[in-house]
Structure 1
Amino acid sequence: MRRAPSMLLASTMLTLIAAPAIAQEAAPPAQGDTAQAGGLGDIIVTARKRQETAQDVPVAVTAITAEQIVTRDVTSVEKITAIAPQFSVGRDSNGSGAQLTLRGIGSSSTSIGIEQSVAVVVDGAYYGQGRVIQEGFFDLARVEVLKGPQALFFGKNATAGVISITTADPTAAPEFMIKGGYEFKSEQYRVEGYASMPLTDTLGFRVAARYTKMDGGYYRNIADDITYTELDAATGALTSHTATPAARKAPGEEEFLARATLKWEPVDRLTVSLKGSVDVSKVNNSSWNYVAFRCGNGDSSQLNGYPCERDFVTHQNNMPADIAANYPYAKSDGSLYNKYRSASGTLNVTYDADLLQLSSVTNYQWNNNRWTCACDFQSGGSENGIGPTWATENSSWKAFSQELRALTQFDGPFNMMVGVLYQKTKRDFDQFVLTGGVSNSAAPEGYEYVTSAKDSFTKGETMAVFGQLTYRILPDLELAGGVRYTDETKNSFFTQPYNNPLLTGVFRDQDDPDGLGEVVARQHFRNWSPEATLTWKPTADLMVYGAYKTAYKSGGFSNGGINSKLSTDPTADLTFDPEKAEGFEIGFKSTLLSNQLRFNVTAFNYKYSNLQVDFFNSPIFAFQTLTADARTKGIEVEWQFAPNGIPGFDIHGSINYDKARYTDFPLAPCYAGQTPAEGCNLAGNARQDLGGAPLSVAPRWTGNLGINYEVSVGTSNKLGFNVDSRYSASYLASGFGNPLSRQDKFLTIDAGVRFGAEDDNWQLAVIGKNLTNQFYVSGVVDGPSTGSGTGTPGGIKADQLGFGTLPRTVMVEVTKRF
């Protein structure tokens, strides 16, 4: 704990080194009252589904303005982490596609059926799927990071928090913008723009689009050719195949995004907004950021003999072209890829009468994800005699939701909000796995090289009713209490329609004689989630609040799991229980020194029951979704100082302490290769007690510090810069206590310089991110087919494959407005 404050001090010094000199040189001379300008501006948020300032809402919220979004290049969910240091995103190639973690609470990435504990909400509509991180975000009005359980105001419950994203609306006057950029590390070109205009006195229109293309990438793939021998189950013949290296520079992304908005305001009381968007993105490797950063048996990978190192380097190979030519969803040349497509439409209607506000949010969303991955993530075969593993997947998700809400606006002490939510969803899932160097020339057409195929779906239906009553006890004291009732059903099906005969001892197929080949699950969940908040505001610049909160996330079904022959209850393996949160937080928000200093403190303590944890048993290729009890508690301090007399200057930061631990996980699975001396000694040496152990990606200390300064230059131009640092203490990336998964403490620095017209007619900007070029991981899996002897004194730990972050990037941007 002594090291954390010292690192934060170092962060402070690094951030401030350049600031005084530049500020002193760039500051304009005092001219009467002009020198007294500056101070803090209000930040508007909608954390309670009504417009309030961030300082007035009794919720721990980090609000990111449209200006900050542009200045810091916040173009994806992942890039929010640089501004909200307690938020972490681990990008996964398969499963749910992501591990979103806030205050140490997150959802495992290896199960596509787990909805995220940190929900993403776009324009009032709930997006709970981890693959939302594939979406690019642009042309935004604001982003809000709401910390802790959120039960009432954002669609379905979110047990850890909400990332609320609001896109830009049409403007009252015509506006046109075009922006071009180039990022040097990935050799990425970016072009984006928007057109916004009124079509009539009451109807506005906005269209925005962005196209990006990488000629390079962030990671280097230094794999060699791999030649392995394949055994034909039908004839016993042996055939050699060669797997060439995957793309040398990854991800080589190409993406197109577009959004159109119509906003109609026929009368002052009625606002109707319709937004439609599409997203198409392709990368040259679905697992491009997987790095073997620590090895279980020393310094070399157990799969391929390559060194394990903490760097932006991978070792992955394409599927052999002669196999890929007739393999489901593979490219004909066998090259790795990920193609993501999505479309959505959201209709927001608000009618604001004198005493009652009525609102409606209607949303339809669809996405499809297809990929081929080197699914041992560090292609193997030469060291251990096991052939490499590849897989292809085609999965789709669609959801329709309708939310209605009524909010009273009485002058008296009582007001209330009531609402209802309906959602209908469906996930379709197909996956084809090739592993172990086996084939079957007698298999049905297209399945000759398939080791195991999966076919699954889940249909869901949710009905929720929620309400809140507020009572102003005194002019400066308010009590609010509410509850959400949720009724949710999920009907699921899973089967493995084909397994290679040589592996029927590992995988069950649909015709398995024990009757367990097809898994059908009908799940029904019900829950009441109450909450109460007491808010005291003795002055306009000071607020104190205390809150009791609960939240709920339903159980579900792991569509991408495995029905292993070694399992005695596949239904239990593939289904999991609801996750619940309950606890308290108290907060203090203040605006001091004549609107120059914003200083906020939050303390929290939440317990989680049935925290959903997915476990991959790498030696036998089996998944289990387990549940555990946990607790997260800590304190957050954030501030912003914008002195009068120095317009355009502010310094901001935060220091956060969080202790996130399992409180009850008595029969947790052992990590691969764990020995009895290391605690793997329960229930026949297959389990360990993780009570008191830290959660995955849960650093004790985090913090950030930054400065921003913008000053007039001459009579018509301005110069601005920002420097922002982020600190994280060390943490375990594994959720199962594997000491090899430890990520050391790190410090990253972002910076930007911009010069342009005073009226923003044009601008030239240079934006640098992770300038310290820190490699760190935000999640981890055990390397498939690595690790052995679990529960024995001679256990060898599995290689740790981490979800690496982006390296140092520098982008040049030119913006022109008309």
Structure 2
Amino acid sequence: MLQGSDLVRGRRTLTSVLAIACACGAANTAHAQDAAGEDSEASTAAKGGLSEIIVTARKRVESAQDVPVSVTAISAAEIADRDLTSLERVAAATPQLAIGRNATGSGAQLTLRGVGSNSLSIGTEQSIAVIVDGVYYGQGRTINEGFFDLGGIEILKGPQSLFFGKNATAGVISITTANPTDYFTASSRTSYEFNAGKLKEEVVVSGPVSDRVGFRLAARVAKDFGHLFDNRADSITYTTTDRPAAGVTNATTDHIATAPSNNGPKEREYLVRGTIDWEATDRLTATLKANVGYNRTSGTWNYAVFACDGGQSHLSPGTPCERDFALYSNNMPADIAAETRFARPDGDNFNKYSSWGVTGTLEYDLDALTITSVTNYQWNRNTWSLDIDYQSASSPALNIWGTEVSDYNAFSEELRVLSDFDGAFNFLLGGYYQTSERGFEQNVLFAGFENSEAPDGFRYVAYAKDSSTEGETLSAYGQAIVELIPDTLEITGGARYIHETKDSIFVQPYAHPLLAGSRYAVDDPLTAKQTFDNWSPEATLTWTPSETVTVYGAYKTAYKSGGFSNSSIQSPTTPLEFFLFEPEKAKGFEVGLKTDLLDRQLRFNVTGYIYKFTDLQVTYLDSAALAYNSINAGSAKTKGVEVEFAYAPYAVPGLELSGSANYNHARYGTALAPCYGGQSFDAGCIPNLLSIGTPGQDLDGKPTSDAPDWTGSLGARYEADLNQSMKYGLSVNARYSSDYLPSAFGAPLSRQDEYVSLDAGVRFGAIDDTWQLALIGKNLTNQFVATGVTDGSGTGSGTGTNMAVPADQVGFISMPRTVTLQLTLQIP
């Protein structure tokens, strides 16, 4: 339970952060007042006041201040000014949103208001739906797409099933890419980040082809010449013993596992997106978007073993566990890699992500009705080879490597009709269809296993896994909109129905002869056919007493798909039920007040909410067995208050201050879950609680993952003319978070301390925007922030006893300080 002292400390720290940022804003204000005194008729600087922000949170175009939804909208200009060109950077700038990159599992952990999906299993889908140009992207590996040339980002908080479908129990990140312009323009943005030595080039060409056809082509290429995380491992010797059959032992062989130099992230990427707009008639428009992407990094570059019982690694005694941007990781020995499927011949650690997709949108305007069709096909493949003990283990018996290939493809079609009648009644009706397929193949190498008689690709493999899931979703949704008092009081009600099937298969095609049959089942496929049905209703009452005030109350529900643990482990006695998990559901209430005051100089919004989540999906690592498995842990409840403001005074044109203060109390309810690795009996790990031989813990009252009680932000932006041909801009943004547990299982070692991160930027350029030079700093306070954790593989012992030793905590760490110099050229 949150103690009074914790509340006081959180409030004091948050107040300090706001004071610091206000001081920065005050300095900018003084400067702005001097500039405002100059007589410049040709000035193109802002005139002051707040601009209207347009969103599509309810599948129709509305002002963010009018829509009865808790939404944070980020404009294209702010994305460019702050270089928010990845989901991780967006999260680092958004209180209560946390995103952790994971090379393994689902590829990412997305959490909002303390609810999300930890990233350990590829079989789970995110509780925060990522929507790109109206299309659902359900895989955590979407984080690798890299987002640029954007039209805007909307972060919708809380359950959003009605408009965005399944897997939106915690919220939605809706991303809109830029569309063609009605005039010709071309731009080049070249940037260099000094810490990672990242050189990046973005090029955009856009304009009309004819009176009715427009195009836009955008491309980005980037390469790291330096690094953000230091690899401090030394080369080690890994000894294998050839045992082609039980009772047969041949020669032992020493292999050298080298340490990569300056490991992390060494990113290389290219992204290309093309868009064509066609106004076929005055009523029918068509848009076609196609994209292709490639991203390669040096494996587990952001994994840090940052907390260990006793302060030292259990796999590498003498190596400190520190909150530092460092890792200890070895390449797979080259001679072993050459005989292991999916590994690079040189044994280097890597993560490679490739993708492409096509989206076609048709919109037909019938005056009072608008019919919209969105069709999409998407494909991605992720391949990695990693040191998955993460600690450069000193004993060959403790070294662990893995390799994996996973594929995902999906086809979807959405058709909806939106009315715009003059009367009191309007409606939205829609249908959605999706088919998807996920494939997964993995090898794990450990303990010096070798088999000279193994099939090709398996000689040094201890065990291998192959799995796939085919899914089909049919959904229908509708909303009725009734104005009880015209332009003043509106009530809406709607629901979404979802029918979903998933067909899965899991098999272990190989295990070393000493493990096959005793520890791992081999060539014994498990198959599952799952069917899920769900109704997600919601209702909202909105009162608009004036054009500048909106008050609303909403009841919302949501649904997240159940599934199959594709990356689990099958022993000879493992039942099929071990691989299955049920849907996650959410329901609750939200109230909000949105205001534009002082002739639209001040924007002040308040949101209160309380939501309950049932059958919460979590994934745990049995660190001793190297098994990942997803389960339904039970219930959780979130409740809180969010306050945000923006102030742009007419007296100081070009200045805007903004900020937020948020309290969120996210705690488990009735929730029985596995123990964290090395949790003792005295610490709450109860033998045989989950089943005979399986210890567990009661999480009731414990915080959920990534759930700080207090978060806040404060920022200041100022833009003014320098002279008749040049202008300049300044910005500073601070974010505060109180402490929290990145662990979904209450592991106390994982605790992330409270922190303040600071971003800032300065830019100079031409008044007509033909060129701009900017210097952008992120995490200038160089805060070490763990956004997710897993127990260190092979660590943690005595679970459920009072002789337990807690597992080492491996964190997914946000980026350290970065400073980027950016040059933008634009025609015209």
TM-score between the two structures when normalised by the length of structure 1: 0.97
Match of 1:50 in 2: 60
Match of 2:617 in 1: 612
Match of 2:495 in 1: 483
Q: Matches of 1:580 and 1:16 in 2, distance apart?
A: 40
Is 1:705 equivalent to 2:750 in the alignment?
no
Q: What letter is aligned with 1:293?
A: F
Q: Matches of 1:122 and 1:629 in 2, distance apart?
A: 30
TM-fit CA distance, 1:36: 10
Match of 2:455 in 1: 444
Matches within 5 A, 1:200-599: 200-234=210-244, 235-236=248-249, 237-284=251-298, 286-303=299-316, 305-382=318-395, 386-475=397-486, 476-504=488-516, 507-511=519-523, 517-565=524-572, 568-569=574-575, 571-599=576-604
Match of 2:802 in 1: 793
CA contact (8 A) 2:788 2:811 kept: yes
CA contact (8 A) 2:649 2:656 kept: yes
Is 1:77 equivalent to 2:84 in the alignment?
no
1:304-336 per-residue CA deviation (whole Å, 9 max, x = no partner) reads: 541100000000000001111111011111011
Residue 466 of structure 1 aligns to a residue whose secondary structure is strand
TM-fit CA distance, 1:270: 2.2
CA contact (8 A) 1:149 1:160 kept: yes
1:7-34 per-residue CA deviation (whole Å, 9 max, x = no partner) reads: 2222223323344344433523165999
Match of 1:638 in 2: 644
Q: Matches of 1:764 and 1:506 in 2, distance apart?
A: 64
TM-fit CA distance, 1:226: 1.0
1:333-380 per-residue CA deviation (whole Å, 9 max, x = no partner) reads: 101111110001111111122111100110100000111011112231
Q: Matches of 1:611 and 1:22 in 2, distance apart?
A: 46
Matches within 5 A, 1:580-729: 580-627=585-632, 628-665=634-671, 667-683=672-688, 686-729=695-738
TM-fit CA distance, 1:439: 0.8
Q: Which moved more, 1:241-250 or 1:551-560?
A: 241-250
Residue 343 of structure 2 aligns to a residue whose secondary structure is coil
Match of 2:174 in 1: 164
Match of 1:137 in 2: 147
Q: Matches of 1:322 and 1:506 in 2, distance apart?
A: 29
Is 1:781 equivalent to 2:790 in the alignment?
yes
Q: What letter is aligned with 2:587?
A: E
CA contact (8 A) 2:25 2:657 kept: no
Is 1:812 equivalent to 2:821 in the alignment?
yes
CA contact (8 A) 1:229 1:239 kept: yes
Q: Which moved more, 1:235-244 or 1:329-338?
A: 235-244
1:226-253 per-residue CA deviation (whole Å, 9 max, x = no partner) reads: 1132121224232212211024231101
Q: What letter is aligned with 1:367?
A: N
Q: Matches of 1:267 and 1:256 in 2, distance apart?
A: 36
Matches within 5 A, 1:138-157: 138-157=148-167
Match of 2:36 in 1: 28
Q: Which moved more, 1:62-71 or 1:11-20?
A: 11-20
Q: Matches of 1:485 and 1:606 in 2, distance apart?
A: 20
Residue 78 of structure 1 aligns to a residue whose secondary structure is helix
Q: What letter is aligned with 1:90?
A: G
Q: What letter is aligned with 2:186?
A: F
Q: What letter is aligned with 1:329?
A: F
Residue 707 of structure 2 aligns to a residue whose secondary structure is coil
Task: List gaps (5 residues or longer) in structure 1.
Answer: 512-516
Q: Matches of 1:508 and 1:682 in 2, distance apart?
A: 24
Q: Matches of 2:358 and 2:191 in 1, distance apart?
A: 28
1:464-498 per-residue CA deviation (whole Å, 9 max, x = no partner) reads: 01000011111210000000000000000000000
Q: What letter is aligned with 1:535?
A: T
Residue 785 of structure 1 aligns to a residue whose secondary structure is coil
Is 1:764 equivalent to 2:803 in the alignment?
no
Q: What letter is aligned with 2:516?
A: T
TM-fit CA distance, 1:217: 1.5
Match of 1:189 in 2: 199
CA contact (8 A) 1:550 1:581 kept: yes
Residue 228 of structure 2 aligns to a residue whose secondary structure is strand
CA contact (8 A) 1:126 1:156 kept: no
Q: What letter is aligned with 1:436?
A: A
CA contact (8 A) 1:777 1:803 kept: yes
Q: What letter is aligned with 2:673?
A: A
Match of 1:743 in 2: 752
Instruction: Choose which of 5, 9, 21 in structure 1 pairs with 2:11.
Output: 5
Residue 322 of structure 1 aligns to a residue whose secondary structure is helix
Q: What letter is aligned with 1:380?
A: A
Name the count of aligned residue pairs. Answer: 807
Match of 2:4 in 1: none
C-alpha distance 506-716 of structure 1, shift in aligned 2 (>3 A): farther
Root-mean-square deviation (CA, aligned residues, Å) is 1.5
Task: List gaps (5 residues or longer) in structure 2.
Answer: 1-6
Residue 762 of structure 2 aligns to a residue whose secondary structure is strand
C-alpha distance 594-416 of structure 1, shift in aligned 2 (>3 A): same
Q: What letter is aligned with 1:688?
A: Q
Q: What letter is aligned with 2:559?
A: Y
Matches within 5 A, 1:105-144: 105-144=115-154
Match of 1:514 in 2: none
Q: Matches of 1:247 and 1:391 in 2, distance apart?
A: 20
Q: Which moved more, 1:677-686 or 1:116-125?
A: 677-686
CA contact (8 A) 1:590 1:600 kept: yes
Q: Matches of 2:333 and 2:356 in 1, distance apart?
A: 33
TM-score between the two structures when normalised by the length of structure 2: 0.96
Match of 2:101 in 1: 91
Residue 677 of structure 1 aligns to a residue whose secondary structure is coil
TM-fit CA distance, 1:791: 1.0
Q: Matches of 1:156 and 1:669 in 2, distance apart?
A: 26
Q: Which moved more, 1:232-241 or 1:73-82?
A: 232-241
Q: Matches of 1:355 and 1:368 in 2, distance apart?
A: 43
Q: Matches of 2:291 and 2:738 in 1, distance apart?
A: 38
C-alpha distance 138-693 of structure 1, shift in aligned 2 (>3 A): same
Q: Which runs of 4+ in 1 moved over 4 A?
A: 30-36
Q: Matches of 2:470 and 2:758 in 1, distance apart?
A: 44
Q: Matches of 2:742 and 2:295 in 1, distance apart?
A: 28
Q: Matches of 2:609 and 2:686 in 1, distance apart?
A: 35
1:579-599 per-residue CA deviation (whole Å, 9 max, x = no partner) reads: 100000000000001110000
Q: Matches of 1:276 and 1:304 in 2, distance apart?
A: 51
CA contact (8 A) 2:450 2:459 kept: yes
1:732-787 per-residue CA deviation (whole Å, 9 max, x = no partner) reads: 11111111011100110000000001111100000000000000100000001011
TM-fit CA distance, 1:623: 2.4
C-alpha distance 370-36 of structure 1, shift in aligned 2 (>3 A): closer
Q: What letter is aligned with 2:397?
A: I
Identity %: 52
